[in-house]
Structure 1
Amino acid sequence: MRHFWVFGYGSLMWRPGFSYVRRETALLYGAHRSLCVYSHVHRGTPEKPGLVLGLDRGGTCKGIAFAVEPDAWQSTLDYLREREQVTMVYKEVTRTIRLASGESVPAVSYMVDREHQQYAGKLALDDQLSFVKSSHGKSGPNADYVINTQAHLAETGAGDPALAWLTRQLELTPEK
C-alpha cells in the first residue's frame, strides 16, 4: 500500500495532531530550519509577535516524516492546512525527502513565503531571544515552543546551534 508523507521540522515533530502509521527521521535537501516567521496567532499576537520556525531556502533539514494511510489523507491535509495556513505565511509544497531507512519519498512540507509580511528573515540571536521571551499566543508561550523543538531535535540527533543557544538562555532567565 502506498502511503502519503508529511515532513515535520518544528512543532509537527512533537505534536503532529493527525493519525499516522509510520514515523521516521528524514532529511530534506534544499531547505533549512530557521526561526524566521513572526507568529501572530500560535506563539504571539500581531501587537506582540513571537517567532516560529519556517523552512527557508538552501541547506538541509533533518526532521520527522509521518506516513499517512490513503483513506486518512484528505482529512490530514485539511487539518494541516487549518493549522499551518492560518495567515498563509507558508507555501504548501511537495518535496522529496530521504528517510533514515534509505527510501526517498515525496512529502508535503510547509516552506516560508519570503514575500509574506510575517517573514522575519535572519535575525540576530539576541533579537530572537527578545521576541521569544516576551510572546505568548493561542498555543502557549513562545519559549515553550523553542524549548520543546530543541528537545525533540536532540532526540533525532539533529543539531541546531541557534535553538540550543536560545534554549540555554531561556532556561537561565525564564519569563516572569
Structure 2
Amino acid sequence: MNRQMLERASIEALIAIDSPGLELLTEAQRMASLREMLATRPPGDVWVFGYGSLIWNSAIDSLERRIARIDGWHRSFCLSITALRGTVDRPGLMLALDRGGSCHGAAYRLAEEDVECELQLLWRREMACGAYVPRWVQLKDNESEPFGWAIAFTIDADHPQYAGGLDEAVAVRRLATASGGLGSCADYLFRTRDSLHANGIHDPQLERLASLVNALHAEKFGSSQKAVPPAYRCRSRVQGSAER
C-alpha cells in the first residue's frame, strides 16, 4: 500500500474485489471521525503510533521517527479480515491494539501544517470498515519518560471482526494461507517480525506465530520459508498498489 493508492482512494476498489458485501465507512463518516479526534487533541505536536505495517510502510510524511512504548495496550492478531490480505472464503488476520500490557512501536511526529492532510490519508487506510477505535495514547521513551501524545488505532472489541482469544492453531492456519489484493497474511507477518527485529523490538508472541507459520510452510513446501510461498502470493489487482 503506497501513498498514491491512498490519495486515489483505491483501497475501496481492492476491498470490493476481495469482499464485495463488506460494509465500509463512507468518506464523510471517516472525516467526521477525524474531526472528532482532532477536537480532543492534547497540547503539543501530533504523533502517530505504528505497531504493524506502519513501522515498515508508514506512507505518511513526518518530521521525526522514534521508537516508543505505550502502556495499557498490546499488539495482537485480533482483527479478522475478508479483504486486502484475505477473502470471504479464506479470511485472514491483521494486527490491532488490544487491551492490556504494553507495546513498543514506531512514533511519527507530523508537521503542524500537514496534520490534517496526513491524517486524512491515515484515516482512509485504517478506518475503511470501522473495526478500529482511534485513541490518543501517551508515548514513552526508553527511560519510561513521556514525550508526547500519539494517535493509535485500537480494536473495537464489539465489532463483528474482532477475533480476540482465537485458538492459536486457527490463527496460524489463517496467517499461513490467507491472501488478498495486497498480498498474503504471511508476508504481513514476516515483514512485521523483520521490522521489529531491525528496530530492536522483541515481541515473543508475534515471533512465536511467525515460527509456527514458517514451520507450516516448511511442512507443505518441504523447506523453511523466509519469504511467502508462491502458492500464497497474490499480485495486486490495482496497478501500483503493491505495498513497499
Q: TM-score range by the shorter chain?
A: over 0.9
Structure 1 distance, partners of 2:85, 2:181, is 7
State the partner residue of 1:55.
97
Listed as ranges, the gaps of 5+ residues in structure 1 are none
| Contact 1:93–1:110, Cα closer than 8 Å, also in 2 | yes
Q: How many residues align?
A: 175
Q: Do residues 163 (structure 1) and 206 (structure 2) align? A: yes
State the partner residue of 2:187.
144
Q: 2:164 aligns with which of 112, 115, 121?
A: 121
What do residues 65-110 of structure 1 show as CA deviations (whole Å, max 9, x unaligned)?
0011011111111111100011110011111111348442110010
Structure 2 distance, partners of 1:171, 1:36, is 20
Matches within 5 A, 1:1-176: 3-100=45-142, 102-172=145-215, 173=217, 174=225, 175=229, 176=231
| Contact 1:39–1:49, Cα closer than 8 Å, also in 2 | yes
Report SS of the residue matched to 1:120.
coil
Structure 1 residue 159, shift from structure 2 partner = 1.8
Structure 2 distance, partners of 1:7, 1:99, is 13
Partner AA of 1:36 in structure 2: C
TM-score, normalising length: structure 1? 0.92
Listed as ranges, the gaps of 5+ residues in structure 2 are 1-43, 218-224, 232-244
Tell me whether 82-91 or 157-166 shows the greater mean CA deviation: 157-166
| Contact 1:32–1:61, Cα closer than 8 Å, also in 2 | yes
Partner AA of 2:71 in structure 1: Y
Partner AA of 1:153 in structure 2: L
Structure 1 distance, partners of 2:45, 2:147, is 12
Structure 1 residue 133, shift from structure 2 partner = 1.3
Structure 2 distance, partners of 1:156, 1:20, is 18
Structure with greater strand percent = 1
Structure 2 distance, partners of 1:163, 1:79, is 27
Structure 1 residue 134, shift from structure 2 partner = 1.4
Partner AA of 1:16 in structure 2: S
Structure 1 distance, partners of 2:191, 2:174, is 17
What do residues 99-122 of structure 1 show as CA deviations (whole Å, max 9, x unaligned)?
348442110010000000000012
| Contact 1:6–1:65, Cα closer than 8 Å, also in 2 | yes
Structure 2 distance, partners of 1:100, 1:72, is 28
Report SS of the residue matched to 1:94.
strand
Structure with greater helix percent = 2
Report SS of the residue matched to 1:42.
coil
